Every structure is written in structure tokens, then in C-alpha cells.
Homo-oligomer: A and B are copies of this chain.
């Protein structure tokens, strides 16, 4: 029997919704919509999500939501998501939205949802074993194992940004040392670029960004222009990423690596090329995976959330 699922990507600036019709193994996107994320309160965010669901058509069979922040597996609770109004303390998001829309709601981590979206309808389609690397402010990842999204008993699975790549290395925003995210997230690249600039290095990165946050486009333009600091930092970061991905290949064994996220999209061809060449020599078994750029853009999270809701035991 066909099922209609509303998938929601709850972001810091916008709420994106997609309606997916599932029929056997097939899936069709029947509608999409978006609106700004309220910056006022949890109540307003819940109402806005309910409105997005209503806008997508008749009441769906279930709703899936991808959200930033920490989620205890199976709880339906967002523990902490500082970039959403009122989410600085635990929010029973699944329950709140279920009350508003009248159907079961499942929530999941936004990067995991995007990974699942790419695995089901995007660049990883057809692969049962996928690692989706999301390069944005930080570095996240989602893991599809044997056709299923891996969340893990602690909800940790896919936290690739926090693997140790340099024992005792650079401090990470989480308090650890030498984590991958300390070498390749936008935040750490910017911090390092500003340090080098302050110590006298000339760089397009600071010239382009000024005092504003360095956007992904700033990094890609400087890199493409051959800016020394941009090339040095990004090449180092991609070398670390290659090691981390090589290690996932021998421990988890995946056939497809999808590169997404804001920085991942901007640097896509560079990342795919570099990773492919490095893995060919780094990977123990030699058989490098297929490496591809994400193909669903902003839609990945909402689509993944719809699949997640359809594939997981639902919780009202």
C-alpha cells in the first residue's frame, strides 16, 4: 500500500518540506515547500512545521524531521540545538509536532537525514553501503550500512568530525585534540587562516572575507585562485579526510562515498579528485570506493527525513 510521508529539514534559517509517496521500493517526490525558521520560540517553530506539513497536501501517514543538535536515540527529544530559538534546553520535538499534525513523527540528526536522502534518491542511490561526508561549518557524516541508516546505541554513528587524525594535534571545538574537524571544517579553516594572517601571511581569504565569517565561496575562490594559505590549509585538511575515510573503508566497508554540505558542494570536484587519488594509495585493499558529489542540494535532508520516518519504528 502506498504511504505518503512528509519530510522536514529544520534548519537554523529555513524549514524545508518535501512530500514523498512510497510504493513498494519506489518513491516519488510529489510536493515541496519552504519558509523561514521562526526566531522566536519553540511553539512558533512547531507551528511553522505543522503549517509546512499542511501545505504539502492531505494529512500524511507520518512525518520525519531532520534537526540540528544532539538527539538521544529513540527519544524524539532534541537535547540541545543552540541555533534554534528555545532549543537551548531539551525539546520533545517529535511529541510536540505529533500533537500538532495528528500523525506519528520521527526525528533524526540533520546530517544523518541528508545522508539517507542521498543514499535513497541522490548520489548514493543503488548502493547499500554509503558514507556521506558533510563538509560545512564543521564536518559530519552519515553511514548507511546494509541498506539501513546507522544511528548507533548512543546516536554517535557517523561522527567522523571527531575521529582522531593526529594524536595530540590541533584543538577541536569539542575540547578534544587532533580531531578531523579541527583540520577541515569551515570554522577551523577560518580560525587557522586568521592565525596565519595575524602572523604576517598574506591571503586572499582574509582579503575577501574581511571581518565577516568566511563563507564556502570564499574558500573555493581562494583555492581556485591558487592562494597559498587556502591551498595549504585545504590540502592538509583533505589529506586528513583521506586518512579518516580510508579507515572507515577497512572498519565499516562501504562502496560509495558522497561528498556534500556547503563547503563540500563548493569544493566538490577538488574533494572528489583528491580523495580518489589518495584512497587509491592509502586504502589497504586497493579497491577504492566510488566517490561522488551529493546531487540533491538543499533537498537531501527533507527527503532523507521522509525515508527515515517510513523506515523506522514510529513514535508518536
List residues of A (127-166) whose CB comes within 8 Å of B's CBs.
128-129, 141, 143, 145-146, 148, 150-160, 162-165
Partner of A243, one of B128, B158, B167, B248: B167
Q: How large is the interface on A (under 10, 10 to 19, 20 to 34, 35 or more residues)?
A: 35 or more
Are A150 and B252 neighbours in the complex by a CB distance under 8 Å? yes
- The verdict on A253 contacting B164 (CB below 8 Å), with A176-B284, A284-B174 known, is no
CA distance A160 to B254 in the complex (A): 15
Q: Taking the nearest CB of chain B, how far is it from the CB of A186, in angstroms?
A: 19
List residues of A (209-256) whose CB comes within 8 Å of B's CBs.
239, 243-244, 246-255
Q: Taking the nearest CB of chain B, how far is it from the CB of A170, in angstroms?
A: 14
Are B251 and A163 neighbours in the complex by a CB distance under 8 Å? yes
Partner of A152, one of B159, B163, B246, B252: B252
Contacts of A157 in B (CB 8 A): 251-253
CA distance A208 to B250 in the complex (A): 35
Are A159 and B128 neighbours in the complex by a CB distance under 8 Å? no
From A282, which residue of chain B is reached at the shortest CB distance?
Answer: B164
List residues of A (174-217) whose CB comes within 8 Å of B's CBs.
174, 176, 179
CA distance A287 to B158 in the complex (A): 16
Q: Is A100 among interface residues, defined by CB-CB distance under 8 A?
A: no
From A163, which residue of chain B is reached at the shortest CB distance?
Answer: B247
Contacts of A54 in B (CB 8 A): none
Are B164 and A247 neighbours in the complex by a CB distance under 8 Å? yes
Q: Taking the nearest CB of chain B, how far is it from the CB of A258, in angstroms?
A: 16
Q: Taking the nearest CB of chain B, how far is it from the CB of A28, in angstroms?
A: 28
Are B246 and A156 neighbours in the complex by a CB distance under 8 Å? no
Q: Taking the nearest CB of chain B, how far is it from the CB of A137, in angstroms?
A: 17
Are B247 and A247 neighbours in the complex by a CB distance under 8 Å? yes
CA distance A153 to B174 in the complex (A): 33
CA distance A155 to B254 in the complex (A): 10
Among A154, A244, A254, residue most surrounded by chain B Cβ atoms (within 10 Å):
A154
CA distance A145 to B145 in the complex (A): 9
Contacts of A146 in B (CB 8 A): 145, 148, 150
CA distance A253 to B145 in the complex (A): 13
Q: Which residues of A approach B to under 8 Å, CB–CB?
A: 128-129, 141, 143, 145-146, 148, 150-160, 162-165, 167, 174, 176, 179, 239, 243-244, 246-255, 282, 284-285, 287
A-B pairs with the 10 shortest C-beta distances? A152-B253, A162-B284, A156-B253, A159-B250, A157-B253, A163-B247, A162-B250, A153-B255, A164-B243, A129-B153
| Additional A-B contacts beyond A152-B253, A156-B250 (16; CB < 8 A) | A143-B251, A146-B148, A150-B252, A152-B254, A154-B285, A155-B253, A157-B252, A159-B284, A159-B285, A164-B247, A167-B239, A176-B282, A179-B284, A244-B247, A247-B251, A251-B252
